Amino acid sequence: MEARERLIVALDVKTFDEAVEMIEILAPEVDIFKVGIAPFTGFGEAILDKLEYERKKCFLDLKFHDIPNTVANAAKAAMMKNIFMTNFHCLGGKKMLEAAVRGIKNVAEGGIRPILLGVTMLTSMDQTEMNSMGFEGDLEDKVIEMAVMAKEAGLDGVVASALEARKIKEAAGEDFIVVTPGIRPEWADKGDQSRILTPKQAIKEKADYIVVGRPILEADDPAEAARRIIEEIEAAG
């Protein structure tokens, strides 16, 4: 992949007009945009249509987590949106993930389908918070365990911190995709993320895609910020 194909910009904006403006500003530099639960709830259909019109790829980041049948139906609905990738929370368990895969395959019928990702532990979560939820053991070990489960369920990859990307590849295979949020260039504010790396560090740790939001959206020149991050990706080799 080229460096620009590995950057996903999170459209974490408050209004449809802001989303449209950001897509148009970044269109010359960015190919993939992430639509999360807040913008999708507010103006999801419209923004998906805008991305398709601009011939941009969409990562539909809704982290589906429900009983298997409901998630299978959600997966089928997502398949009809012409999206590039979507995700399901690993905390839903293996049966739920398998149902999501079946739902997608039933609609795809051998054709093109989106990349299917499992969400492991959120990058805002640290060891203390994970333990407070009742999970025992090491956070990194839990992430690897979830990644292996996702692969066994038929998913294409996971969303995880770049800090775990290399070990995920070792456990699940080099072809298993790792999408890493919580990316902060050295020149950007850390925000509310706990387990973060720079774009260059993330690629060196074998991340396939990196997700960047505020460092680009809040920059004085978002297009220039995106270019700087793409240059960091290129520098990682």
Q: Would you list the DSSP string of the chain?
A: --GGGGEEEE---SSHHHHHHHHHHHTTT-SEEEE-HHHHHHHHHHHHHHHHHTT-EEEEEEEE-S-HHHHHHHHHHHHTT--SEEEEEGGG-HHHHHHHHHHHHHHHTTS---EEEEE-S-TT--HHHHHHTT--S-HHHHHHHHHHHHHHHT-SEEE--GGGHHHHHHHH-TTSEEEE--B--TTS--TT-SS-B-HHHHHHTT-SEEEE-HHHHTSSSHHHHHHHHHHHHHHT-
56 is catalytic: no
Select which of 50, 63, 142, 200 is catalytic. 63
* Catalytic sites, residue numbers: 63
